[in-house]
């Protein structure tokens, strides 16, 4: 197992280099110049070419591309992700302020989608063809097809503007004001988790239906085991592998979905920082963000792969 993990980590290192290099080149190949964008935004203002050149030198954008990339990599190795062009603050400061916000929303969405999707899928499989299966399946199909930004706007309209039950927007850390923070999180977390709840429900139902037809399940029923034991111990555990794979992928979907949700609900998370940075071509922020996301996704996949061995002892890693 240790050898397997080390091999995966070495692979991950090269994947990270390739990903960051591609993003670096893509950002620099896009039309536009971050310094020109920087001085052109906002109010009407005269700008001299000296000002523009001074800024370009200040951020090292006057140097060859390869040198800029190598410098950035060397900085990352030292834990220095560079200075944001627009914010003029260390990228790490910005990321460390934003990351907990996105992480809190994403983790909550993942927990909720698992807590609802898994039992809902099991119930559907066990009660196949009954009214509960029909209703949950219809809702799951709807949940997969509803665009999250539309859902977000509708929720704001209904629950914030019309009923006044929830605040329209914003984010308050739970440590600052627990109830305000919770109320602000209801709609964004619902939007973030809706797709994942639906897909987990569908996958669990399908996986459980497959497992429940197996001989060992029939044997378990024949032994007179309780329904809970048959379903949870013999059925669910054996049906979990595709579900765990899906949950690993759900994390990527949730992080991707947070780009829209943070914008709609005005949440100052990582995704909003990233979107703003892409528009103004703030290279250091974009590169830092991509590196972080790539590391997170690679680690998630590694954990998912390792969990296969725990779920099915027949799986061994060489």
Partner 1 sequence: MKNILALLCVGILLGLAVAGCGEPSPTPAPAPAPAPSPAPATSPQTPKSGGTFRYINPRGPANTIGWLAEPGPPLGLYACTMMEGLVDVDYKGTVKPKLATAWTIAPDLTSITFTLRLGVKFHDGTDFNAAVAKWNYDQFLAAKLANVKDVSSVDVIDNNTIKINLKKYSNTLLSTLTSTYMVSKAAFDKVGKDGLRWNPVGTGPFKFVSFERDVVLKVARFPDYWQKGKPYLDAIEAHFIIDPLTASAAFEAGEADAIGGDVAKVLYDLGQKGNQVLKSYTGAITLIPDSKNPDSVWSNLKVRQAVDYAIDRDAIVKARGFGLWTTTYEFAPPDASAYIKDLPARTYNPEKAKQLLAEAGYPNGFTTKIIGDSSTTDKEATVAVQGFLSKVGIEAQLDWVDFAGFVQYVMGGWKDAILACANGFSAANLNQGIDFVWSQTAAFFPSVLKTDQLQTLLNESMGAKDYDPALVQKVLRYMHDEVMFLPLYCITRGHAVKPYVHDTGFYTQQSWAVFTPADTWLSK
Q: Which residues bind partner 1 (CB under 8 A)?
A: 30-34, 36-52, 54-55, 86-88, 94, 97, 131-132, 135, 139, 142, 150-151, 153-158, 160-162, 164, 167-171, 263-266, 268, 272-273, 276, 279-281
User: Which residue lies nearer to partner 1 by CB, 11 or 47?
Assistant: 47
Nearest distance from C-beta of residue 303 to partner 1, angstroms:
31
Q: Distances in Å between the alpha carbon of 260 and those of 147, 250, 254, 297?
A: 10, 16, 10, 19
User: Which residue lies nearer to partner 1 by CB, 133 or 210?
Assistant: 133
Nearest distance from C-beta of residue 18 to partner 1, angstroms:
25
Nearest distance from C-beta of residue 253 to partner 1, angstroms:
21
Nearest distance from C-beta of residue 22 to partner 1, angstroms:
19
Dihedral (CA of 46, 50, 55, 60) sign: positive
Nearest distance from C-beta of residue 1 to partner 1, angstroms:
43
User: Which residue lies nearer to partner 1 by CB, 98 or 234?
Assistant: 98
Nearest distance from C-beta of residue 20 to partner 1, angstroms:
21
User: Which residue lies nearer to partner 1 by CB, 161 or 174?
Assistant: 161
Nearest distance from C-beta of residue 142 to partner 1, angstroms:
6
User: Which residue lies nearer to partner 1 by CB, 52 or 61?
Assistant: 52
User: Which residue lies nearer to partner 1 by CB, 118 or 264?
Assistant: 264
User: Which residue lies nearer to partner 1 by CB, 31 or 313?
Assistant: 31
What's the CA gap between 225 and 229, in Å, rounded? 6
């Amino acid at each position: 197992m240790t050898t397997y993990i080390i091999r995966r980590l070495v692979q991950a290192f090269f994947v990270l280099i390739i990903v960051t290099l591609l993003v670096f080149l893509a950002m620099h190949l896009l039309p536009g110049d971050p310094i020109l964008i920087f001085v052109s935004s906002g109010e009407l203002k005269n700008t001299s070419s000296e000002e523009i050149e001074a800024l370009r030198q200040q951020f090292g954008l006057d140097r060859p591309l390869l040198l800029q990339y190598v410098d950035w990599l060397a900085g990352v190795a030292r834990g220095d992700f560079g200075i944001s062009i627009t914010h003029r603050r260390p990228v790490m400061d910005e990321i460390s302020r934003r990351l907990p916000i996105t992480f809190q929303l994403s983790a909550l969405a993942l927990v909720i989608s698992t807590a609802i999707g898994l039992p809902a899928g099991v119930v559907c499989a066990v009660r196949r063809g009954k009214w509960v299966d029909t209703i949950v399946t219809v809702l799951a199909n709807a949940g997969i097809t509803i665009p999250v930004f539309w859902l977000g706007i509708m929720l704001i309209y209904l629950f914030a503007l019309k009923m006044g039950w929830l605040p329209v927007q914003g984010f308050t850390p739970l440590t600052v004001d627990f109830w305000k923070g919770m109320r602000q999180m209801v709609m964004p977390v619902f939007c973030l988790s809706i797709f994942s709840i639906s897909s987990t429900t569908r996958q669990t139902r399908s996986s459980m239906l497959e497992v429940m037809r197996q001989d060992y399940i029939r044997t378990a029923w024949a032994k007179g085991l309780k329904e809970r034991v048959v379903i949870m111990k013999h059925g669910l555990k054996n049906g979990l592998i595709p579900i765990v794979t899906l949950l690993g992928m759900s994390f990527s979907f949730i992080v991707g979905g947070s780009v829209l949700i943070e914008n709609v609900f005005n949440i100052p998370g990582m995704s909003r920082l990233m979107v703003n940075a892409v528009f103004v071509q703030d290279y250091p922020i974009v590169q830092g963000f991509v590196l972080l996301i790539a590391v997170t996704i690679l680690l998630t996949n590694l954990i998912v792969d390792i969990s296969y061995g725990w779920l099915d002892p027949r799986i061994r890693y060489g």
